[in-house]
Structure formats: structure tokens, C-alpha cells
Chains A and B, each alone.
Chain A
Amino acid sequence: MLREDLAGRRVAVTGATGFLGTALVERLLRAVPDCQVAVLVRPGRRGAAERVRREILRNNCFDRLRAELGGSFDAEIGDRLISVAGDVGADGLGLDADGEEVLAGCATVVHSAATVSFDSPLDTAVEVNLLGPSRVAAALRRLNPGTHLVAVSTAYVAGSRRGPAPEAPLAETPFATEVAWRPEVDAARRARADADAASREPRMLARFAREARGELGAAGTPLLASRAERAREDWVERRMVEIGKARAQGLGWPDVYAYSKALGERALLETRDGLAVSIVRPSIIESALSEPVPGWIRGFRMADPVIIGYARGLLREFPGLPEGIIDVVPVDLVVAAVLAVAARGPLPGGPDVVHAASGARNPLRYRQLVDLVREWFTEHPLADVNDQPIAVPEWSFPGRRTVARQLHQATRTLGAAETALRVLPLRGGRADLAARLEERRDEAERALSYVELYGAYTETEAVFQVDRLLGLHRSLAPEDQRDFGMDPAVIDWRRYCHEVYLPSVVAHARVRRAPGPGGRRRDPKGATGLTREERGRRAILSPERQLAVFDLENTLIASNVVDSYAWLATRHQSGRARAGFVLRALRDAPGMLAADRADRGDFLRAFYRRYEGAPVERLRADGWELWHDLLLAKSFPAGLRRVREHRALGHRTLLITGALDVVVEPLRPLFDEIVCARLGERSGRFDGELLDAPPTGEARALLMADYAVEHGLALEEAVAYADSASDLPMLEAAGHPVAVNPETRLAAIARRRGWHVEHWPRAPGGPRPLLPIGPMARR
């Protein structure tokens, strides 16, 4: 009896925070009352025990056990679950003395830790998947050579094989790719160093800087630099992913995951040196059939994004062989196979291999799966943003290349449109359009990546043999066959898809469901009874906030330094001089716009030279006129109201602007403090030189931080309002950033980060001065 065989044993599990690992731990604790479970987890920042509590025990996998044990859950788990800090990515597993002692006392170790992503960087996959199993084996040999190691691999180590794939070590399998694993390890490590070196080439660094500027605009040096550095790191990662994919496919595996797992098996068997080893190879693991509860799933599994993408109408086509087998296996069947192997113990004849797969015994054809999925989503459609049901497309099973080409094209077109929109000076609704376009492109890119990543699995022609699995199943006592059955024949695919798998995927993906027929239309207001926008506003205008920082131009008034200058300059000009001024301004405008984009600080410095020689006193007087004649007329009343709301709540209000002091003087009563540009004076005239660094870009963030420190305010409780990506440093530094009438770049950033966005219009119906020209002064 399986229970009796495992009772009293201590079983160690690696990868317990993963999908299979969690299920395994839960099943052991629930179904084998007398065993102890040691889980090896990376300690992270919180420590191993805390990670186990948060990431394993809090998972809804344990709901059933918690209900069964009631109040004694904590005590029972405390007795039987041992957390061990360790890392399969490190030689010696990074164990301390206690950890070694725990591991030494284990009769069985299940190694299920892996990086399961199909697009891991090559070296990550190599360190974890290739070297992990042999590292575990090495540690066990040292601590307790009598341990039985059950290594979880994948059926896809068979690679692009066609026809039956036997349950046997790769070395004994005909046509399996022969690769020496040690040189692969060295090459992977070297590739990382090479990629890093390549990324530091000046040409590449210039490219990253360009990308950062393209995304953020004139956001200031520190922010651009850190963004460029992130772009470099991302590039190295992408490069490692690319190299991994190329290497894996070159050797006949669909991706770096299967490649590294296959070599991991080889490495393990080569280095086990007498250690008892069994290998379990599951195929695509999906939602539980019945244990702990039907439909239980953890994380976003391989097929899930494809299915959700389909249901959202995103994947108009997905490649695949209609008659091909999609080898899906419910997680509880895999758990049962692992437990049965562990209970049985090692086979005397050396390492044995068991497939946990369905294809050979109870095949699910791709066409059948697609039909089942379509049927279900036709009955239970997802909803679009307007709560309208999304009709699911009909797939025609084209080749992978056709689909990839279509998606490439869509991505390129959307990317081009997005670039075009990004260079235009758009705001508000139109900037929003650009952001939506970017979202569409992201979706198309994601679809493309699914096709590239998972396409191979819908075209696989290998059939994973399960004779040994069935033998194992049949060797169980009837009671164990009922409780720990692993025969895939029990799966009714229609029932599994419609009642177990798809509902759990949709629930897990937290997507918007269309209201059923006769169902109540969903209220866009959430549990709080407020819309997202209202909740955002409430958070901003909460009494706990301490500081509200505002940008001026295009945040509170639809105007800029050029407008103000034009008004002030023409105020005392005659009609003919005015006309000349307008013409010159029109001529200079494109150049000024470009300079402003490149660097706001430099632009201001250069622009303010125009004030050289202007009489200070006259400008001070004219500044008031300017405010009442032009700026107030172009103000956003809702913005001015917001400043006052903050003040009424007791928040300090701070204006940080690149505008001149003579221009913003009339705004003093609105703010507790104003930081603005000031020009030097010589005998009553401006000298055209800024007295301080222009308050733009990162200088704004610093000014805000200084102000907060000086007044004992917390930046986490600061609300910052700005309209442009050049204000990013300030927005990022504040706990509550608000994008006001954002231009394209900021709109995209705000959307991605979920920042609150305000669209403040000018006073409706108010005057709209055509040109910012001062009214002619009368003598």
C-alpha cells in the first residue's frame, strides 16, 4: 500500500513553490499522514520558512487540508513540514549545517525545481535545468548515499522526434541527439560574458541611449541613463534568450527548456555514481482533474496564455496539425506517478524512466481541443472593454510560418503608426489613442511570441509511450488505484475541458466575463461603489497626503514660455513691429520645438537670452496683465480648483515651473511656495542669464525632495501633477503621480504603470486667443 510504504519517511521536495511541487507537498501532507516533508527553497529576502508560509501554504491548494484539519492545521504542519534554505543553482545546494542534517535524514528526494519558461536565457536554463539535478545528486551522495532521487524531467526531451518515444534514458533511445553536456555549460557561461561585452560597445550604448530618449523624451540625464542601462541589461537578456533558442533548435529541441532538461538527464545519469535515481517525465501539466479539487491550478501555465489570447480574439490563427496530439496531463496524475515511484523505491536494474503523459493512451487531438475550446467560449464569451461579448475566431490550422508572417506584419504596421504618433505633439484624447495603439502592438507582439514559443508543441509528432506508467498503475492495490490513480484513460476530455480546465483558466486569468443571457450587466464600479477614476481621485485627495506639487505649463494652463514671451514682447510694439514679430516667431517655431524636445533645460537657457535688455519693472507690471489677459483665459479651471482642494485639505502646495518669476507672480496666493526661473538684472534690465539651474527634468525631482525634507514631509505622501515625460523624475519620486492631459509618451507610461490621469479642459466656451499677442498699450 502506497500510504504504508511512505509512512514514517521523510521526503524532501525541491521546487515546492512551483505548480507540481506545491501539489506534491500538499498531497503528501494530506494523503500520507505519517510522513515528514522537507522543502528546499531559496531563502530570498524573507527567509525560507517565511517563503514557505507565504508562497506555499497560503496557496488555495491547501484550502482543503486546512478545512479538514481545522484548528490543528498550524500545529500539524509545524510538526511535519520542514523548511530548508537552499538553491539548486549553486554547487553544494547552498545548504547550512541544519539543512544538510535534514537532507541527510531523507529517504527520498523529489527534485522538481526547474525554470519552466520556454524562453529562459541560455545560461539560466543551463544552471538550473542542466546542472540542477546533478548538483542534487552530488549533495545526496555526500550526505546520504542511500537516498532515492526522483527527478522530474519533461517528456519533450524527446525533441522533434516523430513516432513513439520510449520510457528510457536518452542514451538508450535510438535517434536521440548525442551532445556532450560539459562543453554546453562552458559555452553558455561564455555566451553571457560575450553578450555583456557586446552590449558595452559604444555603438550599442548609443543605441540604448537613443531608445531611452525615444521612450522618455527630455526626462533628464539620470533618468535617461538608468533607462538606457536597463535597456542594455534587457538587451543582454534577450540576446541570451535568442542564443538559447538557436542552440536548442539547432540540436533538434523545440526550445531551451527541453534542451536543458534533456542534457540535465544525461548529466544526472553520467554523474550519479551509484546513487539510486528514477526519472518522471510529465508532458504538458494542466489543471487538476480531482485532487486537491477539480480545476486547481497554480500560475499561468503554458497553454493558458494561448487560450486566453484566443478567447480575447487576439489570436486570429494559431498554427498546428489538426490531427496532431496535444499531450496534456492533469497535475494530480503526475503527482500520483511521482508518489508511486517514490513509494516503490529505486529499481534494482539501474535508473528507470516513467512518462506521465496522455497521448499514447488517451490522445487529445489538436482539432478536438480547438473545437472544445471554441464551443466553450461561444457559450461563455469574454467581454471587451464595453462589456460586449467577444466572438471567438475559427481557426483554419495554417502552417506556423504563415501565422508568424501575418503577425510580424501586424506588429510592424502598428509599430510604425505608433512611432508616427509619438513624434507628433499630441495631448489628451489623441495621446490616449497613441497609448491604445501601443497596447494593440503589445498584444500582437505577445501573440507572435506565443506562436514562436508554443507553436512547436501543437506540431509535435512524438507519441510518448506510457507502458511503464500503466505498469506502475496496475501494480498498485485497488484502493491506491482509486486514490493515487495515474491512468490517463480516466480523463473524459470534453468534461475535463468544459468543466475543469477552461473555467479554471478563465478564473485564474482574471479576465472580464460577458454577462450571461438574462444576467445583470456588470457594474463598472467595483466593491467600493466607485469607478477606478473616482478611487484614484479619492486616493489623491485623501487627508493623509502631505504635499501636492504642480507643474504649470499644460498642467494648469494651456500655455508655455514662448506664449508668455510673445505676449510680453509685443505688449509695447506698434502694429508693424508686431507683424514682423509674428513672422519671425513662425519662422523660429519648428527649431524651438525641436530644441525643447532635446533638452528642456538647454532650451530655456537659450530662450531666456531673448529677455536680455528688457526693463525689469515694466515686465513686472506687464506680468500681471499677462496673467489676467492671457494665462488665466487659457487656464484649466479644474486644475486651479484642484490646487485649492489640496490646500483646503491641509496639504502643502508647491509649484515648480520653468516660467519666469515675473510671469508666475500673480499665482503666489495659490501656492505655499513657487519655484521658478529667475533672470539676472543689470541696472534695471534683465541680462538674459538664469540665476539658478532651470527647474526642469531631474532638477524638479530634487527640488521636490528638498522641499519635502525641509518641511518634514514624506515623498510617499506627495502628489505630483505634470503633463510631459520630461517630468518623469518628479512623477516617479512622488508617491502619487498624476498625469495631466499627458502628451503621447507620458500617456503611454501612465497607462502602463496605472497612474491616475486627469483630462482638464480649458474653461468651456471661454475666449480662445488666436495668437499670444499683448493688447496694444495706449500712451
Chain B
Amino acid sequence: MPRPGFVLDVDASTPPILTWHGDGFRLERLPADRSRVIYAPEPVPGLDDPDEAIRHALTHPLGDADPLPDLLHPGMRLTIAFDDVSLPLPPMRRPDNRQRVIEAVLDLAATAGVDDVVLIAALALHRRMTEAELRHALGDRVHDAFAPHGRLLQHDAEDPDGLVHLGVTDLGEDIEINRRAAESDLLVYVNINLVSMDGGHKSVATGLSSYRSLRHHHNVRTMRHSRSFMDQHRSELHSSNWRMGRSIAAAGVKVFQIETTLDNNAFPSGLGFLQKREWEWNARDRAGYLATTAAIRAGSERLNRSVFQSVRAPYSMTGVWAGEVEAVHAATTEAVYRQQLVAVEGQTDIALFGLPHVCPYNVNSIMNPVLVMCMGLGYLFNLYRGRPIVREGGVAILSHPTPWAFHPVHHPSYIDFFEEVLAETTDPIEIEKNYEERFATDEWYRHLYRTGHAYHGVHPFYMWYWGAHALEHLGRVIIVGGDPAAVRRLGFVPASSLDDALEMASDVVGRDPSISHFHCPPVMMADVT
């Protein structure tokens, strides 16, 4: 029986705590008697036979849905959409959940004599995946069967002919999604639900939609009214996607949803110490830590980045559900919570977030300063249910090198956002009002998004909005060990050590603040009462 997550109160005998720091980590000693460390639950057991479980799920759907074989017939148009490179994190070892599920679906389709099958990577406004990334997600067999015939597509949110407007929700939100998906007899969507916001109606309503549609929920107002966006009952983002998903169904698009969950076993055995509580480190873990940190010290920034980006997580599939979207998502959410929820009592004055090497938007890429903000204040800050782990007006301390570095192929609009927009203002409202439209409709970004591997021109704005709730909630944000110029450009305060950061926090939260260290990854969710 895996142990649940727990909260450690730091005392004088507590060892230094491992704190993520980009492509590396630091050991930080936290002030005794007023600090606590929030640890993730241990990995729940994986499925003994995932392929069998998938076959079972496809033939025993949840909610108001027929078994998949009954939905397949010769002459039909079948579209299988799947999550893109942003999931899971880090990328999992082969075979990927998507490969397993899609192979099973394709087997059934072949048996049923379905010829017109198209696979679509549900990019939304993310960058197009490379061939290697597609092969990793789908497996070589699926890739080689579809790609050469032009049947492996990547969603293009800027293709005027490839989109269809399905109307508006009762709140007037435009619904525009991929034409092939919308006009298929059946749309199968294959998810990997890494966190509780993944999946559900968001899969199609966001993953296969366009800027015209996304701007209704990817905006400052929605993000400020999603507390957090990881908690579907209190998430305006969730509500909007749900309205759209129901309208999509009402418009006649038949969606067969497949969702899969993972344990939180994110690191291979050589990096096993990253999964463990520090006082339980054995000789091997200590040696692993020393060897790894020595290698990081010796390596260049580029080398360390490429080593970390090559980490493949030994995740196990812990569950798979298929059928009607909402029924499936209810089951998945419960499974995600089972793996990730940690009960936390009360808020503290300070939250300490060590930022790991990867976030959803820098897989095989660079975590640029805008993504540092998004990872810290968007993702980690929002991994809560109930209340944030830091009180209103408190301080968030992020730990990340925050280099002034950008991937020119993946993040061209980020560079300009950082150089032009953030140099003028960091206020999300101002940014949204004065700059979003120009970037979103920029021809050059559109061109790079459609033909290369660039995120959409508006994407950095969304990253900034992702942190809008945290920016409103917090009294100060401090980044430990970051490039001071880049940190200041973000509107945050640079500190060279945790002690300095705590000193800097003192004029906001006093001399004896309470501190929470959110020990993530492995990914978890704080259930704050």
C-alpha cells in the first residue's frame, strides 16, 4: 500500500530539503519550527495489463455511450485526436499511453472495415510536433502507417479551410474547431490526464480549436476567476470549456472520449532520490545525488539542458476509461486526485516552489523567463484545491536559474513579448488590452506556427495570463538564483540565495513568516483547508 502524501514540520533535526532549480537542484535548509514541506503521495500501483484494460474500457464505456466496436462501420469517417507533446511531463518511456490506446482503437477500426481514418495531434496553439516526437507518442508502426499517406495531421488553428464555426454557447462564446474532426462520423479523443485540468470537454474545445474560440476563456478575467483552474468546481476555465463541449455535442459532433491516468513515478532509478523524502535517502540515493550534482556542475548550461530533456519517465498507466466525455472525466478526476491530493492544513506566509527543468511548453526546448513565470505562478501555484498554500498578500519564492535564453525556432513570439511587451508593462490587463491582438494576428508568427515548429504568436500572452491569479493574490514574487536582469524584466525580485530571499520577503510578511515548501515534482495537488 503506497503511503499518502504528507506535510512535514521542519525542526532542528530536519535535513536540508531538495529544491528543484531548473536543470539541477539545490539542498535548502529551511528555518526550523515555522516551515513545512509538502510531499507527494507515493506512486499508486499501475495496471497489470494496460492493453487488456484498454480493450475492456473500449468495450465497456461509461455514461451514455455505446461500446466502440458498435460505433465503427465501413465507409465511415473516423478521426482520432490525441494530446500533443505537452503531455506527459517528463515525456514517458515507450510505449506511450497514446500509442497503446490508438493501436487498440485502430485494431477495432480495422476489424470493422473502417478505411477513412485520420490522426490529428490536438495542438491548439502549441507548436507542431517533430517527426521524432510523433514517433515517440504514437510508435513507429502507427506513424509509418499514417504519415506517408498524409493521414497523420497536426491541428492547424490558422487554416481558414480546416476550421468550422459551430455557433456560440449561451454566453456567446464562439466555437470554432477542426473541420475534419467536426465533420467525422466519430471523433475519438485520446488523453493522458497528468493533472486534474486535463481531459474532459477541454480536450476538443481547446485542443482542436482556434484563437477565435480560445480567447473566450484564455484571458485574464477567466484566469482570475479560476481558483484554481485545477479545481473543476471553482474554475471558470473549466466552466467555459464545459459550455463549449456541450454545444459541440449539441451541434452533432460525436465524441468518444478515452482518458488514461498515470502514477507519479516521474524519474528513472538513477534519479530515484528525486522521488524520495530526504531523510529516507539510502547510500545509493546519496551517491546518485552527489554524482548528479557533480555532473551538473561540470556540464555547460546547454549540455545539462539536453541531458535533462532526455529524461524519460518510467510512468505506469494506472487507469483507462472511455465513453461519454463527462462520465469518463469524473472517473479520471477521481483517479488523479487519488494519486495526487495531499491534505494541507492552513495557509502560510510564504510558499517556496522549486521549478523543475520542464513545463508543458519547453519539451525538447528551453524554459525561457516567460515560461518560468508560467510554471511557477501558473502551474505550481495553482496546484491547489480550496485555498492557495500561501495566504493572500504573502510571498512566493521561486527557485530557477531563469536564464535570458530563448529557443528561436519554438518561441519566436516569446522573444518579442519579452523584449517589447514586458519591457513596457507586466500588468496582465494592460498587456491583454494593448498588445494581444497585434501578436495574435501577426502574419509572421502565423507563418512560423503553421509551417515550422513555433508556438502561436499569442501563446506567451496566455502564459502570462496563467499567472494572473497568482499575481493578484501575492504581495511579492522572488526568484532565487535567477539571472537578475531577466527576473527584473518579469517584474520580480532576484535573490542569490534562499536566505537572501527570506530577508527580502520580511518587509512584506514580517520577520518570522511561516513557510511552505511545495516539493514538486513528482506532481501533486495541495488540498488546503
Chain A contact residues, CB within 8 Å of chain B:
624, 627-629, 632-635, 637-638, 640-641, 644, 666, 669-670, 762-768, 778
Q: Is the CB of B451 within 8 A of A628?
A: yes
Q: Is the CB of B451 within 8 A of A666?
A: yes
CA A762 – CA B405 in complex, angstroms? 10
Q: Which residues of B contact A763 (CB under 8 A)?
A: 405-408, 415
Interface readout for B420-463 with A: 1 if CB under 8 Å, 0 if not?
10000000000000000000001110011001110000000000
CA A666 – CA B442 in complex, angstroms? 16
Show 18 A/B contacts (Cβ-Cβ < 8 Å), sorted by A: A627-B452, A628-B409, A628-B451, A632-B448, A633-B409, A635-B408, A637-B408, A640-B444, A641-B415, A669-B443, A670-B444, A763-B407, A764-B403, A765-B366, A765-B405, A766-B366, A767-B407, A767-B408
B472 contacts A by Cβ under 8 Å? no
Residue of A nearest to B305 (CB): A765
B419 contacts A by Cβ under 8 Å? yes
Q: Which of B366, B404, B453 contacts A628 (CB 8 A)?
A: B453
B409, B412, B452: most-surrounded residue (chain A CB, <10 A): B409
Residue of B nearest to A630 (CB): B409
Q: With A640-B412, A641-B416, A765-B301 as known contacts, state yes or no: A628 contacts B452, CB within 8 Å.
A: yes
Q: Is the CB of A765 within 8 A of B406?
A: yes
Q: Is the CB of A764 within 8 A of B412?
A: no
Nearest CB on B from A527, distance (A):
25
**Other A-B pairs, 7, CB within 8 Å; known A763-B405, A767-B409:** A628-B452, A632-B448, A637-B419, A641-B415, A670-B444, A763-B415, A778-B131
Q: Which of B406, B442, B447 contacts A766 (CB 8 A)?
A: B406
A634, A762, A778: most-surrounded residue (chain B CB, <10 A): A778
Q: Is the CB of B408 within 8 A of A641?
A: no
Nearest CB on B from A645, distance (A):
9
Q: Which of A637, A641, A669 contacts B447 (CB 8 A)?
A: A669
Q: Which residues of A contact B403 (CB under 8 A)?
A: 764-765
B141 contacts A by Cβ under 8 Å? no
B302 contacts A by Cβ under 8 Å? yes
CA A259 – CA B156 in complex, angstroms? 84
Q: Which residues of A contact B407 (CB under 8 A)?
A: 763, 766-767
CA A666 – CA B447 in complex, angstroms? 9
Q: Which residues of A contact B420 (CB under 8 A)?
A: 641
CA A670 – CA B447 in complex, angstroms? 9
Q: Which residues of A contact B405 (CB under 8 A)?
A: 763-766
Residue of A nearest to B302 (CB): A768
Nearest CB on A from B405, distance (A):
2
Q: Which residues of A contact B301 (CB under 8 A)?
A: 765
Q: What number of B residues sit within 8 Å (CB to CB) of A?
A: 25
Residue of A nearest to B128 (CB): A628
CA A629 – CA B301 in complex, angstroms? 21
CA A669 – CA B448 in complex, angstroms? 10
CA A312 – CA B452 in complex, angstroms? 55
Chain B contact residues, CB within 8 Å of chain A:
131, 301-302, 366, 368, 403-409, 412, 415-416, 419-420, 442-444, 447-448, 451-453
CA A683 – CA B138 in complex, angstroms? 39
Nearest CB on A from B199, distance (A):
31
Q: Which residues of B contact A638 (CB under 8 A)?
A: 419
Q: Which residues of A contact B444 (CB under 8 A)?
A: 640, 644, 669-670
Q: Which residues of B contact A629 (CB under 8 A)?
A: 409
Q: Which residues of B contact A627 (CB under 8 A)?
A: 452
Residue of A nearest to B140 (CB): A778
CA A637 – CA B301 in complex, angstroms? 21
Q: Which residues of A contact B412 (CB under 8 A)?
A: 632, 637, 640
Nearest CB on B from A436, distance (A):
27
Nearest CB on A from B40, distance (A):
30
Q: Which residues of B contact A669 (CB under 8 A)?
A: 443-444, 447
Nearest CB on B from A548, distance (A):
15
Residue of A nearest to B405 (CB): A765
Q: Which residues of A contact B419 (CB under 8 A)?
A: 637-638, 641
CA A629 – CA B452 in complex, angstroms? 9
Q: Which residues of B contact A640 (CB under 8 A)?
A: 412, 444
Residue of B nearest to A666 (CB): B451
CA A640 – CA B412 in complex, angstroms? 10
Nearest CB on A from B392, distance (A):
35
Nearest CB on B from A336, distance (A):
63
Nearest CB on A from B160, distance (A):
15
Q: Which residues of B contact A764 (CB under 8 A)?
A: 403-406
CA A404 – CA B437 in complex, angstroms? 67
Q: Which residues of A contact B415 (CB under 8 A)?
A: 637, 641, 763
Nearest CB on A from B365, distance (A):
9
Nearest CB on A from B300, distance (A):
10
Q: With A638-B419, A669-B444 as known contacts, state yes or no: A632 contacts B131, CB within 8 Å.
A: no
CA A17 – CA B451 in complex, angstroms? 67
Nearest CB on A from B148, distance (A):
10
Q: Which residues of B contact A644 (CB under 8 A)?
A: 442, 444
Q: Is the CB of A637 within 8 A of B406?
A: yes
Q: Which residues of B contact A635 (CB under 8 A)?
A: 408
A637, A640, A670, A766: most-surrounded residue (chain B CB, <10 A): A766
Q: Is the CB of A765 within 8 A of B447?
A: no
CA A710 – CA B130 in complex, angstroms? 42
CA A540 – CA B448 in complex, angstroms? 26
Q: Which of B416, B443, B451 contacts A624 (CB 8 A)?
A: B451
Residue of B nearest to A762 (CB): B408
Nearest CB on B from A667, distance (A):
9
Q: Is the CB of A766 within 8 A of B416?
A: no
Q: Which residues of B contact A767 (CB under 8 A)?
A: 302, 407-409
Nearest CB on A from B470, distance (A):
25
Nearest CB on B from A356, distance (A):
63
Q: Is the CB of B408 within 8 A of A632?
A: yes
Nearest CB on B from A638, distance (A):
7
Q: Which residues of B contact A637 (CB under 8 A)?
A: 406, 408, 412, 415-416, 419
Q: With A637-B416, A764-B406 as known contacts, state yes or no: A632 contacts B443, CB within 8 Å.
A: no
Q: Which residues of A contact B368 (CB under 8 A)?
A: 765
CA A640 – CA B411 in complex, angstroms? 13
Q: Which residues of A contact B408 (CB under 8 A)?
A: 632-635, 637, 762-763, 766-767
CA A307 – CA B253 in complex, angstroms? 88
CA A651 – CA B451 in complex, angstroms? 26
Q: Which residues of A contact B448 (CB under 8 A)?
A: 632
Residue of B nearest to A767 (CB): B407
Nearest CB on B from A571, distance (A):
13
CA A723 – CA B370 in complex, angstroms? 31
Chain A to chain B: the 6 pairs with minimum beta-carbon distance, closest first: A765-B405, A763-B408, A628-B452, A669-B447, A637-B415, A766-B408
Q: Which residues of B contact A633 (CB under 8 A)?
A: 408-409
CA A537 – CA B444 in complex, angstroms? 22
A627, A641, A666, A764: most-surrounded residue (chain B CB, <10 A): A764
Nearest CB on B from A260, distance (A):
62
Q: Is the CB of A632 within 8 A of B406?
A: no
Q: Which residues of B contact A666 (CB under 8 A)?
A: 447, 451-452
Nearest CB on B from A672, distance (A):
12
Residue of A nearest to B406 (CB): A763
Q: Which residues of B contact A766 (CB under 8 A)?
A: 366, 405-409
Residue of A nearest to B408 (CB): A763
CA A624 – CA B451 in complex, angstroms? 8
Residue of B nearest to A632 (CB): B409
CA A345 – CA B443 in complex, angstroms? 83
